[in-house]
A and B are shown apart, each in its own frame.
Chain A
Amino acid sequence: ETGVTQTPRHLVMGMTNKKSLKCEQHLGHNAMYWYKQSAKKPLELMFVYNFKEQTENNSVPSRFSPECPNSSHLFLHLHTLQPEDSALYLCASSQASGTSGTGYQETQYFGPGTRLLVL
């Protein structure tokens, strides 16, 4: 248990569905991250939030929409996904100083991930 929880742990959805992934951290951190882990591909950073502001969007398609209502919660809203979006979605958090590029100086703590299958 790292102090970062993700729900649901497994999700199956059709291409026309709308669903949301939730991440919550109990570590008092102020930076949160979404990653995508696909089979046989590098782990991909999707979004970064520092102090609730999005500071990185790694060319992610608009069918993925992040939301960070406060420093403890991070959501990933999903709509009209494609089968190739099936993957493990990981959330992480860390203590950032507020200056871009230094969020990684402090250790990132990862959640267990949500295993997503798009049919």
Chain B
Amino acid sequence: AQSVSQHNHHVILSEAASLELGCNYSYGGTVNLFWYVQYPGQHLQLLLKYFSGDPLVKGIKGFEAEFIKSKFSFNLRKPSVQWSDTAEYFCAVNPYNTDKLIFGTGTRLQVFP
């Protein structure tokens, strides 16, 4: 079955530390990839997405993600986190030409000043 794995369930960092959140998926075909974020008390919102082209995708608030097809991975990165990045982060995969969207279980990020 198609699935998305986010191995880091809870990450705690100090401000200015670098961040990398892992995302791996199991699907052999073409996929579209997403990272969503949910800040405390706010709606789920899109952080960035990959459909085609440059595998290094830049999103809002200084986040980026790299699609490595051979590793079935789409890891999220930020060189220097801020306290305001405290949130839950979800990776999601859309198998091409379907309306399915499969989410990972999420990673809770806490950033301390």
Residues of A within 8 A of B (CB): 2, 4, 40-45, 48, 50, 55-56, 58, 90, 92, 100-101, 103-105, 107-112
Contact = CB atoms under 8 A, between A and B. Distances in A.
Given A105-B51, A110-B43, A42 B101 contact: no
A15 B104 CA distance: 29
B43 A111 contact: yes
Contact of A56 (B32, B45, B100): B100
Interface residues of B, number: 24
Given A42-B106, A43-B90, A101-B96, 20 more contacts: A2-B43, A42-B4, A42-B102, A42-B105, A44-B103, A45-B100, A45-B101, A50-B99, A55-B99, A56-B99, A56-B100, A90-B44, A100-B97, A100-B99, A101-B32, A101-B99, A104-B49, A105-B32, A108-B46, A110-B45
B91 to A, nearest CB: 10
Contacts of A103: 99
Given A2-B45, A42-B105, A107-B46, A100 B51 contact: no
